[in-house]
Amino acid sequence: MSNIESALLDIGGFDILATQNTPIHRRDPRAKVLAALAFIVTVVSYDKYDLSGLMPLFIYPVALVAVGNLPPGYLLGKLLLASPFALIIGIFNPLLDRSIIMQLGPVHVSGGWVSYVSILLRFSLTLSAALILISTTGFNSVCLALARMKVPKSLTVQFMLLYRYIFVLAEEASRMFKAWSLRSLSGRRMPMKVFGSLVGQLLIRALDRAQRLHMAMLSRGFDGEIRLLRPLAFGMKDLIFVLGWAAFFVLARLYDLPQLLGQTVMGMAQ
């Protein structure tokens, strides 16, 4: 099986996780979207040298993974898959920013290293929040939640159709790739020229399909609006979920919780 195919089958894995029935899964999709948004905004609002302040925020993904019965290894794997992006983005920080801002015994730590680690932490926090959102809610319910929260329909419908047809498209792409590799024999990488025409063909096929799809929609009375028939109920528990997390994020942002905790523990010890 080609890599694209197996990677996509894995995307389907989120849908399976999302069918569970846990206190997290039962929350209204809008509640989970709002909490995740609040979380991400909080994470990115920290100063670039602030490492200890970020630590309490790990409670959010850890709690959701635990209560939502998600497989931590699976999510970590996905995180690693995307990590090269973050690893490369910050790679020059240690070289550019050499001012010493921290001393750990004999080791002097430059600001560049601190901000690099901070980038990696934020990357893991925000991405894991997104992954957890999808795997406790399901992609389509996230779209529905966005639609109900007045995100423009053209955008949410795009997402929905993207998610529906990415499998079809990948199947088509992997068929073409298979056809090429069976006749190329050499086992070498695909030359740029072949790759270009393959992508071009894929685009044309996608356009053809879009046209047929549009015809299918028209013949069932499509008038520019997709109506959804899924009841959503935002209850007390959902409100508590959102407000509870929001309160925690504000606290974590305003006060240095690890330090406070340390002081309290020290105070009790004395």
Partner 1 sequence: MSHHIVEVKDLHYTYPGNTQALQGVSFRIEHGESVGIVGANGAGKSTLLQHLNGYLVPTQGTVRVGDYPLTKETVGQVRRTVGMVFQDPDDQLFMPTVYEDVAFGPLNLGLPPEEVATRVERALETVGVAHLRDRPPYRLSGGEKRAVAIATVLSMTPDILVLDEPTSNLDPRARRQFIGLLKSFHHTKIIATHDLDLVLDLCERTIVIHEGRVKADGPALEIFNNAILLNESHLEKPLRMQACPACGKSG
- Residue 103, SS3 per DSSP: strand
Under the binding rule (CB under 8 A), the answer on residue 233 touching partner 1 is no
| Segment interacting with partner 1, rule: CB under 8 A, options 85-93, 112-120, 214-222, 253-261 | 214-222
Q: Which DSSP symbol is given to 55?
A: G
Q: Is 49 in the site for partner 1 (CB under 8 A)?
A: no
* Residue 244 token pair: 């509870």
Tokens of 242: 């959102």
Joined tokens for residue 53 = 């302040």
Q: Tokens 């809008």: give the residue.
A: 30
Q: Does 162 bind partner 1 (CB under 8 A)?
A: no
Q: Considering the rule CB under 8 A, would residue 226 count as an interface residue with partner 1? A: yes
- Figure out which of the listed residues 98, 108, 164, 237 binds partner 1, where binding follows CB under 8 A: 164
d(CA 201, CA 45): 44
Q: Is residue 209 a contact point for partner 1 (CB under 8 A)?
A: yes
Interface pick for partner 1 out of 222, 240, 263, 264 (rule CB under 8 A): 222
Q: How far is the CB of 181 from partner 1 (least distance, A)?
A: 24
> Any residues with CB less than 8 A from the CB of 12 and at least 6 apart, and which?
167
Is 217 near partner 1 (CB under 8 A)?
yes
Measured distance CA(243)–CA(253) in Å, rounded: 15
Our CB check for partner 1 shows the closer of 112 and 138 to be: 138
Task: Tell me how far the alpha carbon of residue 17 is from its chain's centroid.
Answer: 15
Mask 239-268, x = binds partner 1 (CB under 8 A)?
------------------------------
Instruction: Tell me the C-alpha distance between 240 and 238, whole Å.
Output: 5
Footprint of partner 1 (CB under 8 A): 12, 15, 140, 143, 160-161, 163-165, 167-168, 209, 212-213, 215-223, 226-230
